[in-house]
Amino acid sequence: MASAHYLLAVAVSAVLLAVAGLLRQWKATSRLPFPPGPKPRFLVGNLFDIPTETPWITYTEWGKQYGDIMHAQVFGQHILILNSIKAATELLEKRAIIYSDRSRIPIVSLMGWDFSFVIIPYSDKWREVDWFIPARSYWLIGLLQRRRLFHQHFRRDAIPGYHPVYFRKIRDLLRDLLSTPEEFATHTKTMTAAIVLDTVYGCDIKSMRGDRFVHVTEEASVRITESILPGACIVNTLPFLRHFPSWFPGCSFHRFARDTRDLVDEMKSAPFDFAKQNMQNGAARPSVLRELLERNDTQRSSREQEEVIKDVAGVAYAAAVDTTTATLIVFIMAMALNPEVAKKAQNELDAVVGLGFLPGFEHRSALPYCEAVFREVFRWRPILPFAIPHATSNDDIYEGYFIPKGTMVLPNVWAMAHDESMYPNPDKFDPERFLNADGQLNGDDQILGFGFGRRACVGRHAADATVWATIVSVLSTFDIAKAKDETGKEIEIELVFADGMLSHPKPFKCSITPRNDIVKQLITNMTDV
């Protein structure tokens, strides 16, 4: 009996000590301030301070007043903006256990995008894929701990297996640029779509109504990227509006969301059904999807698990095409504006690879200036000015500031890439900022747009290879310059970019011509191998 009383006393003491510790922590954090930021108004907080256009520019300006980390809130939703690589590294990588969640954004599920593991929070959905997760692989979007699916297909050492596909599609691009160079934007999107359709689905874009599919995916992706940032959609600010009918004032987002859901369903189903039919006909080529479906059949899994495969394949396509295309259009814009940079890269390519030959990945380490061009393309005009927002899964304290659980965390990649202390004269396209005095690459090789920590994009190795191979192939074969009007006067290129999570260049004109007759003949005679 005495022993039982003793154990009870110990248990009660332990509970009391735990409660006292929690009270001390609550008392300590309750006295700590939030990070600096604009002063909130009563009830609405910073509702009228949150920018709806090019917010990365506004937040960069805020940083000059408030510092590298800034706080805002709207109707109780806390928002943390990170303007420096140091803050992003300290929080999103070193404290990834707290900062790897995603915010609950109502418009995401209304639009049918809640299948995407890139943007959904930790949830029961992760448990849906347990049945086919190899013990030593990683999940497509970099959620490293429990849900690991596509790493075996997109890890760094798997990418060389896709090199033949990349170069086949790049050769198609070169032919298209030789034939109709004024349509460079369309040709670039076709190439990136073709690469992903081939590697993920085993599909040839020319055989599956590719134009329609590319359009649907582009529209569905644009809609989500324009809708998830703070202030972009009223239902994200006032979530209760999702329960109101579409005819209610301010609720027209319901119709927009329903239309988008239809696009998303078509985006996921069209290539999946096409690839599955090819498998049934015995005509399927090797692909990520084929391997997953064959594993599904072997394990006699349910139809619900097949739906999961459709979802993750859809994520792979949607996440890759628009971002890669936009990056390559930025490259073309940069070369047209900086012909001296293109010439210097071409001189290096001619010296290392030889005029009349296309470079391969075996040449990459011997092309430091081209590598510097590649890095500067990502830095100069990041097409993801914010990395996809994170969220805190617990309260935290950083540099004496209190960061509550559930805070939306916005890594301002634009501010980091235009930090004058790291990149002097940041608006200038200058590849030499990535070179040492001896012309060799320095250690600054982080592509900020790929994100941070556990939520970094696992597809970054595929994107890296696609963008690099396209850049050096185009530079080897074409001169890029400003277009001229009928009087011979150069047409200026305006640096105008779209708003939203994905900031791609608005349409512009430029001149793309073969460097010489040798190159023209090379492209004409190219055959696929």
End-to-end CA distance of the chain: 84
Q: Who's near 455: CB < 8 A, 6+ residues apart?
A: 92, 100, 102, 141, 142, 143, 387, 388, 390
Q: Is the dihedral of CA 150, 154, 160, 165 positive or negative?
A: positive
Other beta carbons less than 10 A from residue 467's beta carbon = 21
Closest CA to 479 of 525, 435, 514: 514
Instruction: Specify the length of the chain in residues.
Output: 529
User: Measured between alpha carbons, how far is residue 412 from residues 57, 320, 326, 461 in Å?
Assistant: 9, 21, 18, 22
Is 251 annotated in a binding site? The answer is no
The C-alpha atoms of residue 264 and residue 252 are separated, in whole angstroms, by 19
Q: Please check whether residue 125 is in contact with residue 147, taking contact to mean a CB–CB distance below 8 angstroms.
A: no
Identity of the residue numbered 106? P
Where is 80: in which H helix or E strand? strand 77-82
The C-alpha atoms of residue 273 and residue 284 are separated, in whole angstroms, by 12
Place of tokens 């995401």: 108
Q: From the centroid of its chain, how far is CA 196?
A: 15
Where is 154: in which H helix or E strand? helix 151-154
* Helices H / strands E in the chain, number of each: 18, 8
Other beta carbons less than 10 A from residue 409's beta carbon = 27
The C-alpha atoms of residue 139 and residue 142 are separated, in whole angstroms, by 6
Structure-token pair, residue 507? 């349409």
Q: Please check whether residue 413 is in contact with residue 88, taking contact to mean a CB–CB distance below 8 angstroms.
A: no
Structure-token pair, residue 34? 């939030």
Identity of the residue numbered 107? I
The C-alpha atoms of residue 165 and residue 465 are separated, in whole angstroms, by 11
Q: What HEC string does 437-463 produce?
A: CCCCECCCCCCHHHCCHHHCCCCHHHH
Binding site: residue ranges? 457
Binding site for heme: residue ranges? 457
